[in-house]
Amino acid sequence: MPQALREKAKLLNRVRRVRGLIDAIERALDEEKGCPEVLHLIAAARGGINGLMGEVIEDHIREHVVEPTKPSERVEGGLELIDAIQSYLK
């Protein structure tokens, strides 16, 4: 399997895990589970999203900043990364 397909599969698996956690939060709320259980599920979902963001940021840095196909893409890749991080941290 080419590297890009392995990366895609890895990212999709992360998304599916996050989706499962979001579904678990919904079920817990629907079933009126206690606050501690809901809070743990929310923390796990947040951790999953942070992990996914970290993977995508790393891939972007490697592909568009460290080893771009054209030198001019390095600046553009860096600016895109800055925008994405600023949006994420809002």
**First vs last Cα of the chain: how many Å apart?**
37
pLDDT at 2 over 70: no
CATH of domain 3-89: 1.20.58.1000
- When pLDDT is averaged across residues 12-23 and rounded to a whole number, the result is 97
Nearest to 80 by CA among 62, 64, 58, 59: 64
Phi-psi region of 34 (alpha: psi -120 to 50; beta: other; left: phi over 0): beta
Q: What is the pLDDT of residues 67-88, one digit of tens each?
A: 888 888 889 989 999 999 999 8
Residues 6 or more apart in contact with residue 76 via CB below 8 angstroms:
64
Q: What's the whole-model pTM score?
A: 0.81
- Which of the 8 DSSP states describes residue 75? H
